[in-house]
């Protein structure tokens, strides 16, 4: 019966969310990184399904627009970033943390996410009562390690 329930859950949400994930609803931290804009719709479904306490994004927010390689694409980046900001607004801004990546424009990210903690390099903080270290890459994680070390 478990496989059938998982199938029905997938059918309802459009994503393969096993039913046991319902136990995490409203009690979890969601961490994403390197998100292409084609993933934004699925991220919306995931956030609606899980209703996370906190949300962390560790950089390259619009990963299909590589600004480090194509700086002339900043208009496209801004447009898609606004879409992501709308999706991520499902979680209150004071419970969202972003570390910008090498393909992001930190000042543009800050303006698109008012009320959200935005960092340009690795940092350690208390987020939803959890000791969390965040960075875009492993090498940027601050030392000593935190209880949760998230990068991507």
- Host H or E run for residue 134: strand 130-135
pLDDT of the residue at 23: 87
Helix axes 74-88, 40-50, angle to 10 degrees: 20
- The pLDDT tens digits of the residues spanning 4-57 come to 555 555 655 566 667 778 889 999 999 999 999 999 999 999 999 999 999 999
Classify burial at 137, counting beta carbons within 10 Å of its beta carbon; exposed 0-12, middle 13-18, buried 19 or more. Answer: middle
> What is the DSSP code (8-state) at residue 7?
H
22's CB contacts (< 8 A; 6+ apart) are none
Pick the CATH number of 24-151 from 3.30.420.40, 3.40.190.10, 3.30.2320.50, 3.60.21.10: 3.60.21.10
Classify residue 104 by its DSSP letter.
Answer: S
Helices (H), 51-95: 74-88
DSSP classification of residue 121: S
pLDDT tens string 69-128: 888 999 999 999 999 999 999 999 999 999 999 999 999 999 999 999 999 999 999 999
Q: Are 115 and 91 in contact (CB under 8 A)?
A: no
């Amino acid at each position: 019966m478990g496989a059938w329930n998982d199938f029905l859950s997938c059918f309802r949400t459009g994503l393969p969310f096993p039913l046991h994930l319902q136990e995490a609803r409203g009690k979890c931290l969601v961490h994403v990184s390197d998100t292409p804009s084609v993933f934004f719709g699925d991220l919306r479904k995931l956030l609606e399904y899980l209703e996370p306490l906190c949300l962390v994004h560790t950089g390259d927010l619009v990963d299909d627009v590589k600004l480090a390689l194509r700086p002339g694409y900043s208009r496209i980046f801004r447009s898609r970033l606004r879409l992501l900001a709308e999706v991520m607004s499902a979680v209150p801004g004071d419970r969202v943390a972003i570390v910008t990546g090498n393909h992001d424009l930190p000042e543009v990210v800050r303006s698109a996410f008012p009320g959200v903690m935005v960092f340009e390099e690795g940092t350690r903080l208390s987020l939803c009562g959890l000791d969390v270290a965040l960075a875009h890459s492993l090498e940027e994680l601050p030392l000593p390690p935190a209880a949760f070390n998230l990068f991507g």
